[in-house]
A and B are shown apart, each in its own frame.
Chain A
Amino acid sequence: MDTDKLADVVHVEPPAAREMVRFDKVVKRYGDNVVLRELDFHVKPGERITLIGPSGSGKTTILRLLMTIEKADEGKIHVDGDCLTHTRRGDHDVPADEKHIRQVRKKIGMIFQQFNLFPNMKVLRNVSEAPVHCLGLSRGEAEARAIELLELVGLGTKVDAYPSQLSGGQQQRVAIARALAMQPKVLCLDEVTSALDPELVAEVLNVLRNVAASTDITMLCVTHEMKFARDVSDRVLMFDKGQIVEEAPPDKLFTQPEHQRTRTFLRAVLEEH
């Protein structure tokens, strides 16, 4: 895969603010279950962070709040200088309406564990549909770009296949192309290789390594692939019960974790592999 070429196809606009993502005292509850309690953290433009932590610690919830699939109960989320959750009316903030959310959400993309391709569209359409309707590209432009992206993820021959005709690894690469086609500044990745047969994991991780190497996209990654996390991320955040236990560059966090909780977790994960 041609790294320079990817940089040509995926143009990411320069950041508008010093922080690309900021969570500001974010609270998320499901009934009595407080999943995130006053969570604060930020991600710098171009930074790659990995979120780790035990099951149920709230990692997926963080990505889904950022992607606006879920709504925060309290607190604010900022993306590239814009508030995603609120708009200013007079001199106080009110919850953002759909129009405002769509405006800010343009900057964010997500890749899912189960790929979530559209089964009713061929691969080419999966990648070009949103650029036509949500970025305003012509069908021709959008398809030309989709083909370039699909070639870059190694699926140039599959443009006319339906998702159901592809292996899991191929589907996930289509999903990556589909997300990149929207030119996001921020990309959320939630255990993107967990649903794959072991022999298909590498092809997806290789594509993601290339994306990381050749673009400035800010990435928030939930993964159990520790080697990938180590290679790609600038910072690892260890979560437990909706709070950050510890954060450090991967070399430090994986070799000399400070907290007992992190140590136990890493030991458990490493044993599993």
Chain B
Amino acid sequence: MSEILDYLPLLLEGAWLTLQITAGAAVLGLVCAFASGLAAVSGSRTARAVSMVYVEFFRGTSALVQLFWLFFALPLVGIRFEPIAAGIVALGLNIGSYGSEVVRGAIKAIPKTQYEATVALNMSAYRRMRSVILPQAVVSMLPPFGNLLIELLKGTSLVSIISISDLTFSAQILRSGGSDTLTVFLVVLVMYFLMAYALTLGMRALERRGAASIGRGKIPIQRDVAKLPEPV
């Protein structure tokens, strides 16, 4: 058991890289998700088409093959990525395509009556999106985004295949170096679990803030009967 202390530093380093790749891909994925999701609900036919192709392509093909494309195939036509960059780009584009559907769905789910109210107040399309639709839609995006983030964290183990020394890769090294496979992989499981759990807690906190931002907290209905306007 004291062996753990020997290989813990390597595993922690791997976990740290895993978190960095998760963060990078999450940021890229978020940008892609909003760009593509907003394009999908826009008035422009071209924008909608581009979004659809992006989503269908990246959801419809395997993330592993996408990674191989970036890392092994593109260099053949002169486009070269650092391994970590390739990992972040492949995972980010992939998760962004799922995120795009989340964004689109959340925007579409805002009741039509909200749209009508913005028309009655003569808001521009931009103002409608910015002040009314997105602030509400983002709140309902948070739980599915949380799921995607966990998926992404677990999906980062793919990059170990292109020799990035993330958590999974480090574990493989230890195994092939003759360490106790049972404990090593147990520790790795626990580490993934702890990271995922931390992300879950973070997302929950965001969700609570989101709910409060649309008045959906635990606040009782107030009736101000004393303040009724006088009849004329």
Interface residues of A (CB under 8 A from B): 1, 3, 64, 67-69, 98, 102, 105-106, 108-110, 112, 114, 116-122, 129-130, 133-134, 152-158, 161-167, 170, 173, 178-179, 182, 188, 202-203, 206-207, 209-210, 213
Query: For the complex, what is the distance from the CA of A129 to the CA of B127, rounded to whole Å?
Result: 10
Min CB gap A163→B, angstroms: 6
B185-232 interface (Cβ within 8 A of A) = 213-216, 219-224, 227-232
Min CB gap A195→B, angstroms: 11
Query: For the complex, what is the distance from the CA of A182 to the CA of B224, rounded to whole Å?
Result: 26
B122 within 8 Å of A by Cβ? yes
Nearest residue, chain A, Cβ from B228:
A203
In the bound complex, residues from chain A placing their C-beta under 8 Å from that of B127 are 133-134
B44-60 interface (Cβ within 8 A of A) = none
Nearest residue, chain B, Cβ from A207:
B229
Q: Given A206-B231, A207-B229, do A130 and B123 touch, yes or no (CB 8 Å)?
A: yes
A–B Cβ pairs within 8 angstroms, 11 of them: A69-B119, A106-B122, A116-B114, A118-B132, A130-B123, A154-B229, A164-B219, A206-B228, A206-B231, A206-B232, A210-B229
B125-167 interface (Cβ within 8 A of A) = 125, 127, 131-132, 135-136, 139
B117 within 8 Å of A by Cβ? yes
In the bound complex, residues from chain B placing their C-beta under 8 Å from that of A116 are 113-114, 116-117, 120
Query: For the complex, what is the distance from the CA of A203 to the CA of B223, rounded to whole Å?
Result: 13
B107-124 interface (Cβ within 8 A of A) = 113-114, 116-117, 119-124
Min CB gap B195→A, angstroms: 32
The answer on a CB contact under 8 Å between A155 and B113 is no
In the bound complex, residues from chain B placing their C-beta under 8 Å from that of A118 are 114, 117, 131-132, 136
